[in-house]
Amino acid sequence: MGKSILITGGARSGKSTLAERMTMQLGVPAIYIATAQAHDDEMAQRIAQHQARRGPEWQTVSEPFDLPRALAETDGQGPRLVDCLTLWLTNLMLDGRDWMAATDDLRRTLAQQKTPVIFVTNEVGAGIVPENKLARDFRDAAGLLNQRMATACDELWFCVAGHPMKVKPQ
């Protein structure tokens, strides 16, 4: 199996910047698997900011739903960065898909990869209890997704205020 890394942290904690740097250290060209969908102007601007940080050594693959397929199709072409699992989970939940089955598929696919994969995800459970059911369901699902992916990955990193901390292995 190729090396797998999960990077988590809060909003604007430096996760994506760390993930991009680590991916480039694993080889060029690098593949950026984007899960975001630009449903509004603000999200389109966020996507554009992420794209502007990356240079021509990056190939972008947009895949909001089928990450196992995207990983299988890009295996052997260079290190991959999946940014981010939290948006992927959002896409699945809002589309009424079985996110637990999708997570199981992703973990099975990850175990078969020959080239490295880095995942970015958000740590959303450290705040207040959300006021509505959808938000609580999402918070709980994100926590379970992160636990399952952290178990499946070789390394786990946590970013705080731009400072990464290695959690696994120690």
Is the distance from CB of 128 to CB of 146 less than 8 angstroms? no
Among the listed residues 31, 50, 88, 90, the single catalytic one is: 50
**Known catalytic membership, residue 39:** no
Q: Mind giving me the DSSP string for 94-161?
A: HTT--HHHHHHHHHHHHHT-SS-EEEE----TTSPPPSSHHHHHHHHHHHHHHHHHHHHSSEEEEEET
| C-alpha dihedral, 90 to 92 to 93 to 94, nearest 10° | 80
Q: Please tell me the distance from the alpha carbon of residue 102 to that of residue 104, in angstroms, as a whole number.
A: 5
Q: Are 121 and 147 in contact (CB under 8 A)?
A: no
Nearest to 150 by CA among 9, 16, 37: 9
* Three-class SS state of 92: helix
Contact of 107 with 4, CB cutoff 8 Å: no
Give catalytic residues, as residue numbers: 50
